[in-house]
Amino acid sequence: MFKVNDLTFKYPKNKENTIKGISFEIKEGEIFGLLGPSGVGKSTTQKILTKLLKDYTGEVTYKEKRLKEYNKEFYQEIGVGFEMPVHFSKLTAEENLSFFKKLYKSQADTDELLKRVGLYEDKDKKVNEFSKGMKTRLNFVRALINNPKILFLDEPTNGLDPKNARIIKNIIKEFKQDGGTVLLTSHLMNDVDELCDRVAFMANGKIAEIDTPKNLKLKHGQRRVEIEYDDKEVVKDSFDLDNLGGNDEFINIVKTKKIITIHSKETTLDDIFIKVTGVVKHD
């Protein structure tokens, strides 16, 4: 759906390029995660793909046509939920949504969406009376008001309690099931693992890794089994997951000792994040 080829971008006031030659594709119907440390250029990339930043080099195509050749019609097809919620704070939630809805030909049932995200009862409240999490949920509804084909989401569950985060994640999954495409940035690797079909890790303005979460875990994984057992005192040990059945020491422990815990130790996206981007995350 989107093809990005050797994209570079420099903010006019900066000396260095923020984006230093990245290439990737977002396939129709997938949830694609753009990940990386704070300040690496994820939002900048999102802004380029949503035509908010234009002075880039390299090529970006949307549905096989250069993005630069699209006019405002492009915005009819996309939904944007960037991190900083942008609303008219003196207007109610309902008034905000009505205002934005008028910009679009296709209009979603916002009452239904407000009900789903638990804001229907608050729709006549002014947005400046909303909590941070309420604004985030309203921002998410706003991204869906035009029944977009592709959703750009920047930290959509940021600051939400687990119940509300679950609702948002379920709506994102349903959006995909209905044929939608998503570009997601998030620092929450559990969310990314759950939602994304493929992810790209950015480091130093470039893409360090791009693949499915599963393949990345296989590539960077340790494939170990960790075991704790009772041998007068608690003993911890770990074994290679491959050929476990032929490992006499492991078999002997399982046969003769009281096992306290046993689990396979798979690499998490968190571990991979730190490994491939070379930094410890700061949220």
Q: Which residues make up the interface to ligand ATP (CB under 6 A)?
A: 11, 13-14, 18, 36, 38-44
- Please say which residue, 11 or 99, places its beta carbon nearer to ligand ATP: 11
Least separation in angstroms between residue 240's CB and ligand ATP is 36
For residue 141, give the nearest of 182, 179, 170, 110 by alpha carbon.
Answer: 110
Mind giving me the DSSP string for 14-34? Answer: -SS-SEEEEEEEE-TT-EEEE
Our CB check for ligand ATP shows the closer of 11 and 88 to be 11
**Are residues 146 and 102 in contact, defined by beta-carbon separation less than 8 angstroms?**
no
In the complex with ligand ATP, which residue's Cβ is closer, 39 or 278?
Answer: 39
In the chain the first and final C-alpha atoms are separated, in Å, by 30
Q: Specify the residue, 37 or 92, whose C-beta has the smaller distance to ligand ATP.
A: 37
User: At 92, phi and psi to the nearest 5?
Assistant: -75, 170
Do residues 251 and 239 lie in contact, with contact meaning Cβ atoms separated by under 8 Å? no
CB of 108 to ligand ATP, least distance (A): 27
User: How many Å apart are CA 167 and CA 189, to the nearest integer?
Assistant: 17
CA 139 to chain centroid, in Å, comes to 16
Contact 95, 35 (CB under 8 A): no
Q: Cβ distance 63 to 25 under 8 Å?
A: no
* Minimum gap (Å) between residue 14 Cβ and ligand ATP: 5
Q: How far is the CB of 249 from ligand ATP (least distance, A)?
A: 45
Closest CB to ligand ATP among 59 and 83? 83
Structure-token pair, residue 215: 């393949």
Residue closer to ligand ATP (CB basis): 116 or 187:
187
Q: How far apart are CA 235 and CA 152, in angstroms?
A: 48
In the 8-state DSSP scheme, what is residue 254? H
Shortest distance, CB of residue 88 to ligand ATP, whole angstroms?
Answer: 23
266 vs 270 by CB, closer to ligand ATP: 270
Nearest approach in angstroms of CB 105 to ligand ATP is 30
Distance of alpha carbon 39 from the chain centroid: 16
State phi, psi for 151 to the nearest 5 degrees: -110, 130
**Closest CB 282 distance from ligand ATP, rounded Å:** 9
